Amino acid sequence: MSGRGFATEAVRALIGVAFERCGMHRVIARLDARNEASARLCQRVGMVKEAHLRRDYWMKGEWADTLIYGLLAEQWHG
């Protein structure tokens, strides 16, 4: 069951809590670069791709890349 927007809604709610209730300055997402759906989700909620760490961790018998997305409080449009 995908494509219904549940993940986007949940991530937006969590970001809202982080900025609006907890007073955080910055939120980051660290994900496997092969996970294109998660990268699209980060972009959909307004996060910016800040880094692509090449072959930085070993997983299931191979080196994998990490993507880092970030969002600053002043960029959040809740």
CATH of the domain at 24: 3.40.630.30
| One pLDDT digit (tens) per residue for the chain, 78 residues | 567 789 999 999 999 999 999 999 999 999 999 999 999 999 999 999 999 999 999 999 999 999 999 999 999 987
Which ranges constitute the DSSP H helices of the chain?
6-16, 36-44
CB-CB neighbours of 66 under 10 Å: 15
**Which residue segment(s) compose the domain that 47 sits in?**
6-75
- Residue pair 54/71 in contact by the 8 Å Cβ criterion: no
pLDDT value of residue 2: 66
Residue 20 inside a domain? The answer is yes
Residue 1 inside a domain? The answer is no
Can you tell me the distance from the alpha carbon of 27 to that of 19, in angstroms, rounded to the nearest whole number? 8
Residue 55 inside a domain? The answer is yes
- Residue pair 2/41 in contact by the 8 Å Cβ criterion: no
pLDDT value of residue 27: 98
Residue 30 inside a domain? The answer is yes
Question: Could you give the number of structural domains in the chain?
Answer: 1
pTM of the model: 0.89
